[in-house]
């Protein structure tokens, strides 16, 4: 897909690290001009120095609508418009469960992971309409599809992003604006460590550890990396997906396809375990039936 974004202008929130950074690198390699919205000013300055005229950095707290508006205006002023929005900024947020949830913790997560996505789309649409259309990609999560992959508020917010994506795609289709979401699985980024309140340096080390062990927990035997999500985002942002809107793409190495026994034959079936049948006995029964 070399050059698949030639002439395109993109905004990527949370673009200084993790999935966002991987997507920035790929988009520029594919010919796009990119505006990075983030709060890591030191990394933003390094990105501007690294990519020169192909990139602009804007300090942006995506929970502040005025900040988001400035980002979109920068895309128009610096590069001439906006074709692609990757609503990616986020964090794990509050770890509270139902019984100890506070209004403040809940609102903080929803503001960052849901309201910011809405405001990003709101502020992007006029610029995309002026260009004849565009593509919006929202970062959701497998936590929005199944229980157990994230804290309560985070998981609920990501589920909301999936439905928000579908509803927005329907609303914006007459303006030739496509909207899709990506549901990452275990991706080696610092989000896990920062969600635990760990310093950035320690969180980065944890990301490396996730990369080394994640392949043991899913059918695809390799750790998920930011570039895996970046490639999916490239597909959804480019003309290669021109006939795709209102859906979510699961990029998780197959971890949500079923229980471990579905893909690891050394893992016992929960049903057989409940019936008191060992894997060895099950194999004997299978062989007996096959010989009949």
Q: 9-257 has which CATH code? A: 3.40.50.720
pLDDT digit string, tens, across residues 103-145: 999 999 999 999 999 999 999 999 999 999 999 999 999 999 9
- Is 57 in the active site? no
pTM of the model: 0.89
pLDDT digit string, tens, across residues 21-37: 999 999 999 999 999 99
Neighbours of 100 (CB within 10 A): 10
Catalytic residue among 57, 149, 154, 192: 154
pLDDT digit string, tens, across residues 144-198: 999 999 999 999 999 999 999 999 999 999 999 999 999 999 888 765 545 555 5
Where exactly are the structural domains of the chain? 9-257, 261-292
Backbone angles phi, psi at 133, to 5 degrees: 140, -175
pLDDT at 194: 57
pLDDT at 264 over 80: yes
């Amino acid at each position: 897909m070399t050059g698949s974004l030639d002439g395109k202008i993109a905004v990527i929130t949370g673009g200084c690290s993790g999935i966002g950074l991987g997507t920035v690198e790929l988009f520029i390699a594919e010919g796009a001009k990119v505006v990075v919205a983030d709060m890591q000013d030191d990394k933003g300055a390094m990105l501007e120095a690294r990519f020169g005229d192909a990139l602009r950095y804007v300090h942006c707290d995506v929970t502040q609508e005025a900040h988001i508006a400035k980002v979109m205006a920068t895309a128009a002023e610096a590069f001439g418009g906006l074709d692609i929005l990757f609503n990616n900024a986020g964090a794990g947020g509050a770890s509270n469960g139902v019984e100890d949830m506070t209004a403040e913790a809940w609102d903080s997560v929803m503001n960052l992971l849901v309201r910011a996505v809405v405001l990003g789309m709101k502020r992007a649409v006029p610029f995309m309409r002026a260009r004849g259309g565009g593509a919006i990609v929202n970062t959701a999560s497998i936590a929005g599809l199944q229980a157990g992959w994230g804290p309560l508020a985070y998981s609920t917010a990501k589920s909301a992003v999936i439905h928000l994506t579908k509803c927005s795609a329907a609303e914006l289709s007459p303006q030739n604006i496509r909207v899709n979401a990506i549901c990452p699985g275990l991706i080696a980024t610092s989000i896990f460590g920062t969600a635990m309140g760990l310093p950035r340096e320690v969180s980065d080390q944890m990301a490396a550890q996730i990369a080394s062990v994640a392949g043991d927990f899913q059918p695809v035997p390799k750790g998920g990396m930011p570039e895996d999500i970046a490639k999916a985002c490239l597909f959804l942002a480019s003309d290669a997906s021109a006939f795709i809107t209102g859906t979510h793409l699961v990029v998780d190495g197959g971890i949500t396809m079923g229980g471990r026994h579905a893909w690891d034959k050394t893992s016992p079936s929960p049903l057989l375990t409940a019936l008191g049948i060992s894997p060895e006995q099950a194999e004997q029964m299978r062989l007996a039936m096959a010989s009949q």
